[in-house]
Amino acid sequence: MKTVHPHSKFFIIGNANEQNSIAHLINEDDIIVRFNNPNPSCALMADWVFIANGYTQIRHLAIDHQFFKSDTQIFFRYSKEDIYSSRYQNIPLHKRIKYLWRFPKWIKHSHLDQYQINTIPTDIYQHCATTLGCRQPSTGLLAIDYICQHYPRNKIYIHNFTSEGWIGHNWDDEKQLIHKWITTGNIIAI
């Protein structure tokens, strides 16, 4: 597990296609953050990977470890309890019960059990959902907010974000919120 130092910078890499390499900006103590199955157009290796692990995602998301470092930390969107209690998604009871059995098997099948596993805290999820007025903030927005809230003194850069993707996210409002965070100096777009 990589240690976050006071001088460490965070580079949060979205899954849009790489337009220009930022590898020259990254030092040994910096933290590279990637998502789900990282887009191979950016070759930066992940220290942290945030993964959407909802009921539907674990049935369809195949994880390729080619951009995971051996000491990568995993951050899931949801805990098993979040799914079982339908905290963020409306899922029929029989599917929630299946998830309790299916999720640990998916972790093992995806070989994610070799990494340190974390879950995004409820307060981060609720902060993003409330700020957006949307029940399903993107994994990228959750990661940005998590890092901003837990490491406010470190520099945070975002790269390859287009605010596009799955139809269930409120991309227009996320784009405005990210722009606000850039304008206020919380994050830097490169």
Angular region, 185: left φ>0, alpha ψ -120 to 50, beta rest: left
Determine the 3-state secondary structure of 15 from DSSP: coil
For residue 168, the model assigns a pLDDT of 60
CB-based contacts of 74, cutoff 8 Å, min separation 6 = 48, 49, 51, 112, 115, 116, 117, 118
Please state the separation of Cα 99 from the chain's center in Å: 20
For residue 163, the model assigns a pLDDT of 61
Residues shown for the chain: 190
For residue 149, the model assigns a pLDDT of 95
Give 89-98 pLDDT, tens digit per residue: 788 999 999 9
- How far apart, in Å, are the Cα atoms of 98 and each of 2, 5, 61, 80, 105? 34, 40, 17, 11, 11
Say which range, 10-24, 108-122, 152-166, has the weakest mean pLDDT: 152-166
Task: Name the DSSP letter for residue 181.
Answer: H
Question: Distance from first CA to last CA of the chain, Å, rounded?
Answer: 26
Is 70 exceeded by the pLDDT of residue 165?
A: no
Complete edge-to-edge strand list for the sheet that includes strand 10-13 = 116-119, 68-76, 46-51, 31-35, 10-13, 156-159, 188-189
- Bridge partners of residue 158, in order along the sequence: 12, 189
Determine the 3-state secondary structure of 118 from DSSP: strand
The torsion angles phi and psi of 170, rounded to 5 degrees, stand at -90, 80
For residue 21, the model assigns a pLDDT of 94
Give 121-147 pLDDT, tens digit per residue: 999 999 988 888 877 888 999 999 999
pLDDT band at 61 (very low <50, low <70, confident <90, very high): confident
- Bridge partners of residue 12, in order along the sequence: 33, 158
Is 60 exceeded by the pLDDT of residue 169?
A: no
d(CA 82, CA 64): 25
d(CA 146, CA 72): 17
pTM: 0.92
For residue 186, the model assigns a pLDDT of 93
